[in-house]
Copies of this chain bind each other. A is one copy, B any other.
């Protein structure tokens, strides 16, 4: 008899592993200072007069980007915005950021300074500051940004969605999915395809926090991230594929398949929120003040749990893939 091989991350998948881990960290929530533990966009801590939020996110060469996809400065800016997106989704404002870099010795000092300047400039532009970090050697470049934020009011969690509420998203989706497809098509041609900019949703996130019941940032794709909200809230959701706002680059790339790509593609970093229909007009005015459009993409239901998508023909529609998972 052979011993069974232990299951790898590739077997289990990122999200299934995280789902198994989070209950084990339950004790974290019993600490006096921990208002929200693992499993939301960011942790929430009570250490002052206002709730503090704390989150970390990484951009890894070969996984999230390749050299030449963005200038060092743009990559630094992206790393900051990706991490700050989780702070916005809690309805909080960044105070301070840390940047941990791993880099190969062959990397130019100027490029590393450019990366750091990108993080610092973006933090400063949002009223925060790059206050520290770490530098270590590795074969590949990776940027891990931690952001500490502060909520001016109550934080918005994933668990607040209630049946009857509408589901809204900011901006338009699918630009990152289009980039991925364009990149594949251009690889043989040797053309460089720049990463789409991560939208700046810092201000609108805080502004919406007073109006919405639940919020999450779209890092893994609308269908998957709305699934996270449904699970945390103990509800279901119906999404109309025809109502998903589609980015122009996504429409160009995918044509009639664009709404499906926008629904399932990751890394858009727009915000998804749920709110009572009566609050929709207020939410739209609040978002418009920040130059951001809100689109209603669906509705929260009591049953069945999980996300159901309705196609343009009114029939149930099943996505070919469920959203991004690092290990599947």
Residues of A near any B CB (own CB < 8 A): 6-12, 14, 17-18, 20-21, 24-25, 27-29, 31, 33-34, 36-38, 40, 42-43, 45, 47-50, 52, 54-58, 60, 62-64, 95-96, 98, 100, 102-113, 116-117, 120, 123-124, 127-140, 142, 144, 146, 148, 150, 326-327
Contacts and interface: CB of A to CB of B under 8 A. Distances in A.
Contacts of A11: 109
Nearest to A11: B109
A31 to B, nearest CB: 4
A44 to B, nearest CB: 8
19 contacts: A7-B110, A8-B106, A9-B103, A18-B135, A24-B117, A24-B120, A28-B123, A37-B132, A38-B133, A49-B49, A56-B133, A56-B144, A57-B100, A58-B134, A100-B146, A102-B142, A105-B327, A137-B326, A142-B142
Contacts of A6: 108-111
B60 A102 contact: yes
Given A63-B138, A95-B47, A131 B37 contact: yes
B109 A62 contact: no
A142 B103 CA distance: 12
Task: List the 10 shortest-distance A-B pairs measured between CB atoms, nearest first.
Answer: A48-B48, A43-B131, A10-B105, A28-B129, A6-B108, A43-B132, A137-B326, A31-B129, A12-B109, A146-B146
A135 B14 contact: yes
Contacts of A326: 135-137
Contacts of A137: 60, 63, 326-327
A144 B100 contact: yes
A90 to B, nearest CB: 11
Most buried by B among A60, A62, A117: A60
A134 B10 CA distance: 16
B327 A98 contact: no
Contact of A45 (B12, B57, B95, B112): B95
Nearest to A123: B28
Given A8-B106, A33-B95, A47-B95, 15 more contacts: A6-B108, A6-B109, A7-B109, A17-B109, A17-B113, A18-B135, A34-B96, A34-B129, A38-B132, A47-B150, A57-B134, A60-B136, A105-B327, A138-B142, A139-B140
